[in-house]
Chain A
Amino acid sequence: MSGLTIKPGFRSFRSRLIVFLLILLLPLLGGTYLFVNSNNRSYTEKTINSYLESGAGVFDFTLAQQSQTLVSILSSLTWDFGFRSAFGTGDQPTLFGAGQNVLERSLGSVETLLVADMEGRVIIDTALQGFDRLSGAWQRLLEDADRDQEGLAEAIISIRGIPHRLIAVPLYLPRQVAWIIGGYPLDQEVLDRVKQNTLSEVSLVRVDSLGNHIVASTLPPGYWSALAEEFSPSASGHGLQKFNLGGEIFGSLSRILNPDSSTDEQLVALIHRSYQENLANEKLFQDLLARFYLLILAVSILAVLFLARSVTRPVQKLAGFVSRIDKGEYDATLTLNSQDELGVLADSVNSMARGLAEKEKVRDLLGKVVSRQIAERLIKNPVQLEGEEKVTTIMYVDIKGFTGFCEGRSPRQVLNVLNGFLSSVAGQVESHCGVVDKFMGDGVMALYGAPVAHERDVENALHSALMIERQWRNMAEGELAEFGLQPCIGIHTGLVVAGNLGSSNRMNYSVVGDTVNLAARLESLTRYYGVTCIVSEETASKGRGLLFRELDLVRVYGRRDPVRIYQLIGETGRVEASMLQEIQHFQTFLECYRNRQWDEAEHLLSGLSAGGSTPALYSLYAERIAAFRRAPPPADWQGIFVFDKK
């Protein structure tokens, strides 16, 4: 038999769908999240880099622009007749005045001006540094300018501790007669200007043997010392550096402003960009993404719930319907407004229910016509017109005196009594694993061991006989007793042919054989012997826990071998002592009888007849002995009594 087996796991289809969805969706969403996040981070890096590049570009451009302005102003001095005239006078105070005039006119583009002759002697110096002759970095600046075809050179030189961008140009009169060196400080003002244009922070770091010194910075002063500590000059000019300044992360690009400087002092410009704004944007984006994903999840779960509901509701309906079928409610019809597979399934279940209903009708009918076990067997196994040999115990039950009882009574009354009896018999048979093979008028034929054999078929048959007898005694009080109605039971155990008997269109499950006949004969003999139940030796020998009394050795009609027959007394241990004694005496009697000891036999019989339980039996033997006395049995008589009619 094939069956549908569902592995244990999720309790509901809905949970399974949700888990499936999560297994499908979570890695996807997680992967996307990581991918987007990683790209976002990389984009942030790129953005910061780009900001920094552009900041550095603007810084370079600003310095270049300022230098260009410086060159323009300084170069124009050499064409300025006033300045030339002042120089031409050779009067230092006049030239100093002219120099200061230049500073004022330059609107801050030139903040310091120095004029030196071709030998490097200082003629004027607006910064009043107090040296007469240029040396060191100043001298190198002039040497650089002298090497240049245009006579231009620039350098970053500290004036009073502040780095200045200085440019040297020749003063022509009209031949070069001197050097003009002008410059502006790289101070907070320049950095502020760069910041205005780039929105990036700028710092200027002087690196010397003592360490890093922040010359100026647009960063909050609180960050300066951290920057001085974190900045590594060796990493300058090698792309992006990151600084953690007071908990804020800055990406920085560096520019060495005096790469050709021969001094140990190095001036580095750092263009910074805080990650804070971008990180905040990144965080915002992450939050948005997370919310979006939660929304997707929620919508998906709702969709799954809806989907699950659309599946589970019909399935639950189906399950409920099948459960009703299981309880035997075949008349219900399942209606699913669905055209899908579930609709098809519902149709199939409906069709199955109809089929089951029909089967059940057949089963019900069959159960009423034949016994339930036979009906089951017929339903389960294909009906075949073939039999099997099995050892079966057959019990025949009948009512003695029923014909007389019927006379003068209405059929209804008769049927009531009869059906009460038959129901009682059938109930006992079935409760003892027996099968009612057929009802025959006021009689019943019951099978034990066919169609299904049980371990204790014989005992079951004997016990059911005892119960029938007992029940009858309880039932047959009053009116029934008056008419001498009494059950007659014959039981025999033996080999029978069991199977479906009949034509291919109509058949009965039944058993046939000598065993059946003998059982019927034994039931008939009860009237003769005046006992309720007669069993064959085969049956009695297997009736463990039960007490029997041998009645006779008989050769029944149509049967060659004699049969030893027994009266079923009751369960061992529940039989009264007087009965046991009676049985003992009867057994002794039988021995005398069979040994033709007529006198002893009669003597014993007369003892038994006085207060015996079966007077009919004793009077039968008394008559039989009297007859033998008249016509003794042949010499080879073995105590067998022959019945020559049914």
Chain B
Amino acid sequence: MKLTIKILLIPWLSIGAATLYGETLTVSLLDLRSESGLYDAVVEIIPIRQMTPEVMPIEVSVDQVDKEFISDVTVVPVGSRINFPNSDEILHHVYSFSQTKSFDIPLYGAGDNLDHFETFDRPGVVVIGCNIHDWMLAYIYVAESALVSKSDELGKARLENLEPGHYQLKIWHARMGDDPPLIKEVDVAAGLDTNLTIALDLAPERRIRRAPSSTSGRYR
């Protein structure tokens, strides 16, 4: 799987009200294949010279509803804890063999393991699945910085209240597969909104198709 990245546009300046640590970086990601915004891409910036904001771990739930993880990509700061509630009437078996975080929560039903949190204390990408339902696939992006955002359906990821300065920009998307995140450097100017547009040519992700009749039926 090859990753082709093209930077189409350089940042342009826009005049705005300058506030203390109030700069905004908007990264517009373009999917060259579909020629539309790249959804669910993670954009993380890491300050190079300026002070790194303190990372505040959080607790998040990645629920399983109708034999799907409720979120395809969940972004958490490093050290965060995540539990995987089961909202279906059948059992799920959540696992991960990712090097970032490997865990295995054997079969459990609705209401179980609500207090079972997995701590994601290493930055990186964790792929989670259900051992019963092969098509169930979700990603946990463990960010090393607090400055992280996901692109919306238009492919725009917005980072606000930034201190002007020089940053390392990491862009990751599930379709990158095992490839490392795209790393760039970006300057956030004071008093100006920084806009960045990056076009990515990513191969389509091959996924196990959901069984056709698995959306209905009580015991599917």
Taking Cβ atoms with an 8 Å cutoff, the residues of A that contact B are: 78-79, 81, 84-85, 87-88, 118, 146, 149, 151, 170, 172-177
Contact = CB atoms under 8 A, between A and B. Distances in A.
Contacts of B178: 118, 177
Contact of A175 (B95, B131, B207): B207
Contacts of A174: 127-130, 134-137, 208
Nearest to A80: B131
Interface string B88-99: 000001010100
A170 B206 contact: yes
A89 B208 CA distance: 22
Given A87-B97, A174-B130, A175-B174, 10 more contacts: A81-B93, A81-B131, A85-B97, A118-B178, A149-B206, A173-B129, A174-B127, A175-B127, A175-B177, A177-B178
Contacts of A151: 206
20 contacts: A78-B208, A81-B131, A84-B95, A85-B97, A87-B97, A88-B97, A88-B102, A118-B1, A149-B206, A170-B206, A172-B134, A172-B208, A173-B127, A174-B129, A174-B130, A174-B135, A174-B136, A174-B208, A175-B129, A176-B177
Contacts of A85: 97
Interface residues of B, number: 21
A149 B206 CA distance: 7
Interface of B: 1, 93, 95, 97, 102, 127-131, 134-137, 174, 177-178, 205-208
Nearest to A174: B129
A172 B177 CA distance: 12
Contacts of B205: 175
Best-surrounded residue of A84, A87, A172, A174 (most CB of chain B within 10 A): A174
Contacts of B128: 174
Nearest to A172: B208
A173 B207 CA distance: 10
Contact of B134 (A78, A87, A146, A177): A78
Contacts of B177: 118, 175-176
Best-surrounded residue of B93, B135, B137, B208 (most CB of chain A within 10 A): B208
A177 B97 CA distance: 10
Contacts of B206: 149, 151, 170, 176
Contacts of B134: 78-79, 172, 174
B80 to A, nearest CB: 21
B137 A175 contact: yes
Contacts of A149: 206
Nearest to A79: B134
Contacts of B93: 81
Contact of A173 (B97, B135, B136, B174): B97
B97 to A, nearest CB: 3
A86 to B, nearest CB: 10
Contacts of A88: 97, 102
Contacts of A176: 177, 206
Nearest to B134: A79
A326 B102 CA distance: 135
Report, nearest first, the 6 A-B pairs whose CB atoms are least far apart: A174-B129, A88-B97, A174-B137, A175-B127, A81-B131, A173-B97
Nearest to B137: A174
A146 B130 CA distance: 24
Contacts of A170: 206
Contacts of A173: 97, 127, 129
A84 to B, nearest CB: 7
A84 B130 CA distance: 12
A151 B207 CA distance: 10
B208 A84 contact: no
Nearest to B130: A174
Nearest to B128: A174
Contacts of A84: 95, 97, 131
Nearest to B208: A172
A170 B137 CA distance: 15
Best-surrounded residue of A78, A175, A176, A177 (most CB of chain B within 10 A): A175
A118 B208 CA distance: 16
Contacts of A79: 134
Nearest to B133: A174
A314 to B, nearest CB: 95
B71 to A, nearest CB: 15
A79 to B, nearest CB: 5
A595 to B, nearest CB: 171
A85 B104 CA distance: 10
Best-surrounded residue of B1, B97, B102, B207 (most CB of chain A within 10 A): B97
A274 B95 CA distance: 59
Contacts of A78: 134, 208
Nearest to A175: B127
A79 B95 CA distance: 13
Nearest to B203: A146
B202 to A, nearest CB: 14
A118 B205 CA distance: 13
Nearest to A151: B206
Nearest to A145: B206
A643 to B, nearest CB: 162
Contacts of B130: 174
B209 to A, nearest CB: 8
A78 B97 CA distance: 13
Nearest to A89: B97
A6 B208 CA distance: 102
Nearest to B177: A118
A151 B204 CA distance: 12
A84 B93 CA distance: 13
A170 B207 CA distance: 10
Nearest to B97: A88
A170 B205 CA distance: 12
A88 B102 CA distance: 9
A332 to B, nearest CB: 110
Contacts of B127: 173-175
A186 B50 CA distance: 66
A78 B129 CA distance: 12
A172 B208 CA distance: 8
A146 B203 CA distance: 11
A118 B203 CA distance: 14
B103 to A, nearest CB: 11
A466 B206 CA distance: 151
A173 B134 CA distance: 9
A254 B35 CA distance: 48
A85 B106 CA distance: 13
A171 to B, nearest CB: 11
B20 to A, nearest CB: 42
Contacts of B1: 118, 146
Contacts of B102: 88
A465 B5 CA distance: 161
Contacts of B207: 172, 175
Contacts of B174: 175
A645 B51 CA distance: 207
Nearest to B209: A150
A84 B131 CA distance: 9
A172 B95 CA distance: 13
B124 to A, nearest CB: 14
Contacts of A177: 97, 178
A176 B1 CA distance: 11
A259 B95 CA distance: 42
A78 B206 CA distance: 14
A216 B160 CA distance: 71
A174 B129 CA distance: 5
A151 B209 CA distance: 12
Contacts of A87: 97
A641 to B, nearest CB: 165
